């Protein structure tokens, strides 16, 4: 799915979840993006972008970050300026991971969690993680560059049972299609 001949130009991934009960440690989720080269689109990521980093060229960055889920609506957001990515990149995978610092937590332990992927005002994906109740991390979106150089969006909701560090290494390892 793309937005015409020029493809997806600039996308935003938004994340929401309710804060944990007052007597529990905070739920901390993160949006993570991994980039892959044209030479190895299913190999190791060229770089990873998450809450305390951004892409070296500034094309992928966090515009909002939450460690607790407190706030109204979507409390975390990542912007991907795909049209500015160097031609050496062929694929970007975006996922969500739950920090496991205070013991195991899965998407089933969260309330009102969800992800939204948009391009401008157009909704590309909206998911509430319901089918991922036993997972600690998930991929949500894959962007691939076609032969003309345009970026295409693919829904890529797939659960994982790993911590955020391991998840960054495995999230782009298999083909969604």
Please write the tens of the pLDDT for every residue from 133-158: 999 999 999 999 999 999 999 999 99
Question: What is the arithmetic mean of pLDDT over 117-141?
Answer: 97
Residue 123 dihedral angles phi and psi, to the nearest 5°? -80, 120
Of 6 and 42, more confident: 42
pLDDT at 1 over 50: no
Token pair, residue 11, equals 């996308």
Locus of tokens 């797939």: 158
State the Cα–Cα distance between residues 158 and 171, nearest whole angstrom: 9
Q: What is the mean pLDDT of the chain?
A: 91
Sheet architecture: strand order including 76-81: 60-64, 76-81, 10-16, 114-119, 122-127
Token pair, residue 48, equals 């990873």
Kindly state the percentage of the chain with pLDDT values over 90.
72
pTM: 0.92
In this prediction, residue 5 carries a pLDDT of: 57
In this prediction, residue 73 carries a pLDDT of: 87
DSSP per position, 71-110: SSS--EEEEEEGGGS-TTEEEEEEEEEE--TTS---GGG-
Q: What is the pLDDT of residues 69-95, one digit of tens each?
A: 888 889 999 999 999 999 999 999 999
In this prediction, residue 162 carries a pLDDT of: 87
Sheet architecture: strand order including 151-160: 47-49, 29-37, 89-98, 137-145, 151-160
pLDDT at 2 over 70: no
State the Cα–Cα distance between residues 53 and 115, nearest whole angstrom: 20
In this prediction, residue 163 carries a pLDDT of: 82
Task: Give me the sign of the Cα torsion angle 130, 134, 136, 139.
Answer: negative
């Amino acid at each position: 799915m793309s937005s015409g001949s020029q493809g997806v130009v600039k996308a935003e991934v938004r994340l929401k979840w309710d804060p944990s009960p007052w007597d529990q440690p905070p739920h901390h989720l993160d949006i993570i993006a991994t980039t892959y080269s044209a030479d190895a689109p299913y190999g190791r990521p060229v770089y990873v972008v998450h809450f305390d980093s951004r892409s070296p060229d500034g094309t992928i960055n966090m515009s909002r970050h939450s460690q607790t889920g407190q706030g109204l609506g979507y409390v975390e957001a990542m912007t991907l300026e795909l049209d500015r990515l160097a031609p050496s990149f062929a694929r970007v995978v975006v996922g969500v991971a739950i920090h496991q610092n205070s013991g195991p937590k899965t998407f089933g332990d969260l309330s009102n969690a969800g992800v939204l992927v948009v391009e401008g005002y157009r909704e590309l994906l909206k998911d509430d993680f319901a089918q991922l109740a036993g997972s600690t991390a998930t991929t949500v979106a894959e962007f691939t560059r076609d032969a003309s150089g345009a970026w295409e969006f693919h829904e890529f909701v797939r659960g994982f049972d790993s911590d955020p560090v391991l998840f960054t290494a495995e999230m782009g390892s298999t083909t969604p299609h």
